[in-house]
Amino acid sequence: MATLNNTLALPFTGIFISLAVFLLGQWLFKITKGFFLFQPLFFGMVTGIILLFIWGKIGGMSTAYVYRHYYKPGGDIIFWFLNPATIAFAIPLFKRNQVLKKYWFDILISLVISSVIALFIILGASKLVGLSYQSAAAMLPQAATTAIAMPITDAIGGNAAVTAMACILKAVILYALADAFIKLFRLQGSKIGLGLGLGTGGTVGSAKALQFGELEGAMASVCVVIIGIVVDLVVIPFAQIFM
Amino acid sequence: MTPKGKKEKKAPILVQMGIFAGVLWVASIISSVLPSNFIVPTPVIGLVLLYLLLTLKIVKVEWVEDFGIFMISLIGFLFVPSGIQIANDLRILREEGLQIVLVIIIATVTLLVVTAYVTRFVIAIHHRINQKHGQITRGGVDDGNIE
């Protein structure tokens, strides 16, 4: 039993669980023709947590222990590959160089101003509902993609796991409700604006933007990259001054 | 990039991985030597480095494209462990999960709406400045819209 226990603590377990829950989500997403709660990543996250929770209950261990002891070794290996995947976004950005050269000034200024405004609103909302410092700080970098947002959260003393959850939930919300938001707030007045706005929702937002048109899609995929850099430059000083 | 005459040669996948590994390695070193009050995560530096290498034509896009596009296609899956990480601290969800979700919803809407409107505003102002200076904008800041 001791050897089985050691074996289960090898990276194989975490890697297999991650793939299993994600693939199950993909399959459910497909057969339900895109039901928003079966978005593979969100489904994988929830199912994975439930799985570790049940494992803990059966084995008489805390969920946190099961996570650290059995899931994390494999999870960390997959997580590392976010590094090359994130820098790979330089390729689509490079391919958009023409649009970027034409609009870089407007994109940069717009994203810096909107991040600062959004940060005040997010911090205000966090204070209003009474979030702890750790969670409130985790809310600030969520416009960036996960691999960039998490180290920034760490840097300002927040809980990076909460940031990761925020990035995932944001994608679910946008997938389900982007059309309604766009109609409600009349966002179609500016193609560049709509594209950049959807780009704050990461890859799911970009996919949505592409449905509206070529320029919107290009702007969103540019935004996914630029917003990561803007968040890095804006959030850290913002947290130092206002938190 | 338009294909020029001969087909550009794709680099073997191992070479592509080598370029990624090299960029990440250099990025991690740069990230660690930056002053502690100027934190820039490794992926941000790597992203900028790779973009510069491509734009300055030091690295051809064919040398990194296949592996890069493959990695991007995996990104949803690669996020799974970061999502499950909250299992390490379920207490935080029990204590303030509802409030966190509420703020995430507010943040999502805020980012979408504020960015869309600020951009529209910035472009309109930029457009007006250009007109005042009597420049021919060469489609510089037109928004693809008839306003």
Q: What is the pLDDT of residues A198-209, one digit of tens each?
A: 999 888 888 899
In a domain, B33, yes or no: yes
Q: In chain A, where are the structural domains located?
A: 2-80, 95-242
Contacts of residue B40, Cβ cutoff 8 Å, sequence gap at least 6 = A232, B30, B31, B34
Q: What is the pLDDT of residue B36?
A: 81
- The pTM of this model reads 0.90
Residue that finishes a domain, picked among B56, B78, B100? B78
B94 and B130 share a domain? Answer: yes
Residue bearing the bigger pLDDT, B49 or B143: B49
- N residues, chain B: 147
Residue that finishes a domain, picked among B78, B105, B129? B78
- Structural domain that includes position B139: 87-147
Residue bearing the bigger pLDDT, B96 or B139: B96
Predicted confidence band of residue B134 (pLDDT cuts 50, 70, 90): low
24-63 of B, contacting A, C-beta below 8 A: 24, 27, 39-44, 46-51, 54-55, 61
pLDDT of residue B5 exceeding 80: no
pLDDT of residue B1 exceeding 90: no
Distances (CA, A) of A232 to A105, A142, A145, A157, B88: 18, 11, 11, 14, 26
Rounded to an integer, what distance in angstroms lies between the CA atom of residue A61 and that of residue B8? 56
Contacts of residue A192, Cβ cutoff 8 Å, sequence gap at least 6 = A103, A106, A107, A215, A216, A219, B119, B120, B123, B143, B144
Q: Collapsing DSSP states into helix, strand and coil, what is residue A212?
A: helix
Q: How many angstroms separate the first and last alpha carbons of chain A?
A: 49
Predicted confidence band of residue B137 (pLDDT cuts 50, 70, 90): very low
In a domain, B2, yes or no: no
In a domain, B4, yes or no: no
Rounded to an integer, what distance in angstroms lies between the CA atom of residue A231 and that of residue A236? 8
B15 and B36 share a domain? Answer: yes
pLDDT of residue A220 exceeding 60: yes
Nearest Cα to Cα of residue A219 among A55, A52, A102, A129 = A102
How many domains does the structure of chain B reveal? 2
B16 and B70 share a domain? Answer: yes
B67 and B93 share a domain? Answer: no
- Residue A141: list chain B partners with CB under 8 A: none
Nearest C-alpha in A relative to B96: A131
Predicted confidence band of residue B139 (pLDDT cuts 50, 70, 90): very low
125-144 of B, contacting A, C-beta below 8 A: 126, 139-141, 143-144
B74 and B93 share a domain? Answer: no
Nearest C-alpha in B relative to A151: B41
Question: What is the token pair recorded at A175?
Answer: 């997938």
In a domain, B48, yes or no: yes
- Residue A205: list chain B partners with CB under 8 A: 112
**Closest Cα of chain B to A18: distance in Å?**
6
65-124 of B, contacting A, C-beta below 8 A: 65, 67-69, 71-72, 74-90, 92, 95-96, 99-120, 122-123
The ipTM (two decimal places) reads 0.94
Residue bearing the bigger pLDDT, B132 or A86: A86
Question: Are the beta carbons of A80 and A24 closer than 8 angstroms?
Answer: no
Q: What is the pLDDT of residue A191?
A: 92
Rounded to an integer, what distance in angstroms lies between the CA atom of residue B31 and that of residue B42? 6
Summarised one tens digit per residue, pLDDT across range A54-67 is 999 999 999 999 99
In a domain, B15, yes or no: yes
Closest CB to B24: pick one of A41, A42, A84: A84
Q: What is the pLDDT of residue A189?
A: 87
Q: What is the largest CA-CA distance in chain A?
A: 64
Rounded to an integer, what distance in angstroms lies between the CA atom of residue B67 and that of residue B72? 9
Nearest C-alpha in B relative to A93: B51
Closest CB to A102: pick one of B84, B116, B140: B140
Question: What is the token pair recorded at B133?
Answer: 């200076």
The amino acid at A155:
A
Residue that finishes a domain, picked among B49, B78, B107? B78
